[in-house]
Amino acid sequence: MNVKDERSREIIRHAAAEFFQHESSGSALITVTRVDISEDAKRATVMLSVIPEGFEEQVLEFAKRKRSDLRTHLKKHTKLPRIPHVEVALDIGEKNRQRIEELGSM
């Protein structure tokens, strides 16, 4: 992974976090935990964490509906030379990390 790819990931992560903060109703806390970009940089997956967990499915449906708006937001608010096709997914790894941390503090 080179510095350019890492910088692109961070730019997309930051812009996506701003987008979801602005577009969500506020009933759940949506956190963009990371962004995975394909080797050819044509696709990006925005990984989300949701609190409370009971809203995960609703947030995922909302985020999927808003993908084209997110891509438009990326075009307007970033200077990336090529805007990738955006997918969204729940960050299961982050959920597992939080659970391990919770068990460790018992």
Largest CA distance in the chain: 48
51-104 tens-digit pLDDT: 888 999 999 999 999 999 999 999 999 999 999 999 999 998 766 666 677 677
Whether the CB-CB separation of 12 and 74 falls below 8 Å is answered with yes
Measure Cα distances from 87 to 2, 59, 65 in Å: 22, 13, 10
- Domains located in the chain, CATH noted: 3-104 (3.30.300.20)
Residue 10: CB atoms within 10 A of its CB come to 12
**pTM for the predicted model, two decimal places:** 0.85
Encode pLDDT of 13-54 as tens digits: 999 999 999 999 888 999 999 999 999 989 999 999 998 889
Rounded CA-CA distance 99/106 in Å is 11
